[in-house]
Chain A
Amino acid sequence: MAAPSRVRGVVRTLLALLGLFAASIAVAQEPPPAPDRPLADARQEARAQALFDDIRCVVCQHEAIADSPAGIAADMRQLVREQIAAGRSDAQIRDDLVRRYGDFVLFSPPVRAGTWLLWFGPFVVLLGVAAALLAFARRRRPETAPLSAEEEARLAEILAERRDPDAKPSDD
């Protein structure tokens, strides 16, 4: 029984090796991704890295070109580095990419009429809920009548008596 299973194992290994080989051929047939060569100037390279995080790999699911192993991501990284080396500003590089690929290419959407709700929505929600809570708190009438002056005085008396340094206001 051992021999056939070993044969099967060998066959499987061979098949897998063939697969690996085929995969590497498939990769080889695509244009090879340009190797990542960091810019010599550390400050420029830092700018490039920051841009990579904001630029979407246009053929991937939800990946920045900083993360993506796809060939086009490597090309885009090289493009960004070349542009930085050529002395262009971050804004110019972004604008170029948007002209070519549309707003889709940036992970930070532009602030324009169509995206006001997106950008300011969170803060509007915050203020809205806060205002609603405030209005609600104001509208509510106290459930018991306020204390009379006499009762207030008596309350103060009791509190003064009970001033115990150990007494914690909360119980949990």
Chain B
Amino acid sequence: MIVEAGAFALVLAFALAVLQTGMAAAGRLRRSPVLAGAADGAALASAIAVAVAFAALIQAFATSDFSVANVAANSHTDKPMLYKVAAAWGSHEGSLLLWCLVLTGFGAALARARNLPFGLRTSAVAVQGLLGALFLAFAVFTSNPFERLDPVPFQGASLNPLLQDPALAFHPPFLYAGYVGFSVCFSLAVAALVEGRANAAFWPAWGRWVRPWALASWVFLTLGIALGAFWAYYELGWGGWWFWDPVENASFMPWLAGAALLHSSIVTERRGALAGWSTFLALLAFTFSMLGAFLVRSGVLTSVHAFAVDPQRGMMLLAILGVTAGAAFALFAWRAPQLKGGGMFAPVSREGGLVLNNLFLTAAAATVLLGTLYPLILEAATGATISVGPPYFALTFTPLMAVALIVLPAGPFLAWKRADLRGVVQRLAVAFGLALLLAVAGWFAFEPRKILSALGIGLGAWLILGALAETAERIRLFRAPFAETLRRARGLPLAAWGMTLAHAGLGVFVLGAVVETGFRVEAARPLAVGESLQAGKWTVTLKDVRIVEGPNYLAEQGRLTVAVPGGATREVTAERRFFPAGGQTTTEVGLDFRGLDDVYVVLGERGPTPGGAPGWSVRVWWNPWARLIFLGPAIMALGGVLSLLDRRLRLGAGARKAKTA
């Protein structure tokens, strides 16, 4: 009964989205607030209907209703409740429903945004409704999660055990909130192009309207990607966290485009400049999101993360992508030349710095796009198969980003319109000197000595120190009486703190990534109980291995001790889990957090030791500073949240300008 209600709600949501598009478009053409208001109501109702459908699906999973094909294919009565619920978005149909939920949810929020002018808002609601209608049609007609099964099986096929993990239960909702949040930026950009305002006052306002949506989506996407990377790190058991895998790239492209949009929209808001460019990025971010969904769901790429793949549905997604993005970019090509330029600026200025940021972020996104799609295109065109992996990105993406990051700390010091470069250099000299010193310290601190890694450490330190220097400058730290500094710190807008945190967080991430990649130590050997293995300074001893029973798996659980000269000896457990429902085996990594470092222990298969005794193959990694890799994005996301809070306050207070110094 509840399942039927869910199926009905889904169809209703589709009808409402169609209605929303029609009424908003008609309301815009006839300038009728009544029709536009009805479209807003339809947007809200559509979101509620999808939420009802989603709740019904979760209920079907929670009660293990195997008469629903999707539940039978992805659930099992033995699974813990968290993974029963999470399986609702672990399959293709369920994740598409989640996508629709976020899409219509953001659509409802857009329809309630009262500060937008009538024309722009109504057009944007129409576009958002059209996107909703397309994806809901896809869900209803080809990927209906409520399809029944007859005869009803007694037991389900269970969810891929790799996905039965807390990080992965929360990773898709965050990721999708990020992906699909950009749909609002897309709708606002299309609406702005349709409205085609030539007056100069329009674009700064547009920049202010689009920025909170871009910021919120970017924060969600940052957290989603970080959770995914963390999951890959401890669930796959390979010691790595980023493989430049096509599916990872698919989530990274909208992130890069979104980051570029965040920055260019500042210029559009403050100076009315780069309007066309910001619109382009707003279209691009959601296009990349849709491209990502297509790449992940269609199975055209081979990937370690390709779950729930179906080529037929891939074609449908490709059609949606082609129609929406094609139409939007055609509109852009037609309207963009008519956009008015906005304020002038010298090459060395805040605007110039942000343009440089955009230049590198777009080139980086283009690199990821090329590296991801090129093997496909080449194979289709010539039949030749190639692989594009980490070495390619190390030679293209990394140098591009390195140059961008070297320039980054100067950006916030630059004045609008025209900046004094010498003054900036003077104010950053101390931070630069310290970063250089830290690079030298890094060169001596880590074995073996690697010049590039030492420079990378310097770069991470430079980002952190540069960001802090900017805040210190603004609150006149150590140069004014302490009370004055405190007063200034309190007066600093939240957005300024947000920027400092986001840039410093990037530096923290760079430090972690550079040190972990450069100085990771690995050791692997079959160990009998009581034997030990050396990875760098760490001694890992296999204490015992026993069989333990989990809720829906059976595991060989190894207890190992991690010892270090002059430090505490700690115990970790590493498991090999066997899931009878699907017949799969997964590894649970034993992680010993030592300050910033991880000692990462994987229990492998049974096998004889070189001495002939029965043993288990044990792999140990010493991942120095690996904590920072996941701490950095968390700091960046926190910065985004602070900035978002500031925007909301400012929007609430009308057009109140930020406090001038």
* Chain A interface residues toward B at CB < 8 A: 12-13, 15-17, 19-20, 23-24, 27, 35-36, 49, 53-54, 56, 60-64, 67, 69, 102-110, 114-115, 117-119, 121-123, 125-126, 129-130, 133, 137, 140, 142-143, 166-172
Contacts and interface: CB of A to CB of B under 8 A. Distances in A.
Contacts of A17: 547, 554
A62 B549 contact: no
Contact of A62 (B302, B347, B363, B364): B302
Given A35-B526, A105-B387, A122-B367, A133 B350 contact: no
Contact of B388 (A23, A63, A107): A107
A108 B524 CA distance: 26
25 contacts: A24-B605, A35-B617, A36-B524, A53-B391, A54-B389, A54-B391, A56-B387, A62-B243, A62-B302, A102-B385, A103-B387, A107-B389, A108-B392, A109-B386, A109-B388, A114-B382, A115-B378, A117-B374, A119-B392, A123-B363, A125-B363, A125-B366, A129-B359, A168-B661, A169-B419
B396 A122 contact: yes
Contact of B391 (A108, A123, A133): A108
Count chain B CB atoms within 10 A of each CB in A19, A106, A130, A170 and give the residue with the most. Answer: A170
B526 A23 contact: no
A122 B306 CA distance: 26
Nearest to A22: B583
Contact of B414 (A62, A106, A107, A170): A170
Interface residues of B, number: 72
A27 B415 CA distance: 65
A19 B580 contact: yes
B554 A140 contact: no
B416 A129 contact: no
A142 B344 contact: yes
Give the residue among A62, A103, A114 with the most B Cβ atoms within 10 A: A62
Nearest to A32: B607
B176 interface: no
Nearest to A168: B661
A114 B390 CA distance: 20
A54 B393 CA distance: 12
A13 B549 contact: yes
A63 B239 CA distance: 12
Given A20-B578, A53-B390, A129-B362, A61 B416 contact: no
Lowest 5 CB-CB distances: which A-B pairs, in order? Answer: A107-B389, A169-B415, A108-B391, A16-B554, A122-B367
B554 A13 contact: yes
Contacts of A140: 341, 344
A16 B549 contact: yes
Contacts of B426: none
Interface of B: 78, 238-240, 243, 245-246, 302-304, 306, 341, 344, 347, 350, 355, 359-360, 362-364, 366-367, 370-371, 374-375, 378, 382, 384-392, 395-397, 400, 414-416, 419-420, 474, 493, 495-496, 522, 524, 526, 547, 549, 553-554, 578, 580, 583, 585, 604-607, 610, 617, 658-661
A62 B245 contact: yes
Contacts of A129: 359, 362-363
A167 B240 CA distance: 49
Contacts of B387: 56, 103-107, 109
B374 A16 contact: no
Contact of A122 (B303, B397, B549, B607): B397
Contact of B606 (A13, A24, A35, A117): A24
Contacts of A143: 341, 344
Contact of A56 (B355, B359, B389, B578): B389
Given A115-B386, A118-B371, A61 B306 contact: yes
A20 B554 contact: yes
A163 to B, nearest CB: 13
A122 B585 CA distance: 40
Contacts of B303: 61-62
A171 B420 CA distance: 15
Nearest to A122: B367
A121 to B, nearest CB: 5
A103 B580 CA distance: 38
A67 B385 contact: no
Contacts of B547: 17
B359 A126 contact: yes
Contacts of B659: 171
A19 B416 CA distance: 68
Contacts of A137: 347
Interface centre among A53, A56, A137, A169 (most CB of B within 10 A): A169
A118 B370 contact: yes
Contacts of A54: 389, 391
Contacts of B347: 137
Contacts of A105: 387
A50 to B, nearest CB: 10
Contact of A27 (B389, B416, B605): B605
Given A123-B363, A170-B414, 11 more contacts: A16-B578, A19-B554, A19-B578, A19-B580, A20-B554, A53-B390, A62-B243, A108-B395, A115-B378, A133-B359, A140-B344
A133 B355 contact: yes
B384 A103 contact: yes
A86 to B, nearest CB: 23
B385 A103 contact: yes
Nearest to B340: A143
Contacts of A53: 390-391
B386 A168 contact: no
B600 to A, nearest CB: 13
Contact of B416 (A12, A115, A170): A170
A13 B547 CA distance: 10
Contact of A23 (B366, B386, B420, B583): B583
B326 to A, nearest CB: 21
A109 B659 CA distance: 53
A172 B549 CA distance: 57
A48 to B, nearest CB: 12
Contacts of A126: 359-360, 363, 400
Contacts of A12: 78, 580
A108 B344 contact: no
A83 to B, nearest CB: 19
A62 B389 contact: yes
A8 to B, nearest CB: 11
Nearest to A46: B448
A62 B420 CA distance: 48
Most chain B beta carbons < 10 A, residue from A15, A118, A130: A118
A108 B390 CA distance: 8
B579 to A, nearest CB: 9
Nearest to A49: B522
Contacts of B384: 102-103, 114
Nearest to A19: B580
Contact of B396 (A27, A36, A107, A119): A119
A172 B658 CA distance: 8
A108 B391 CA distance: 5
B548 to A, nearest CB: 11
Contacts of A15: 580
A169 B416 contact: yes
A122 B526 contact: no
A93 to B, nearest CB: 15
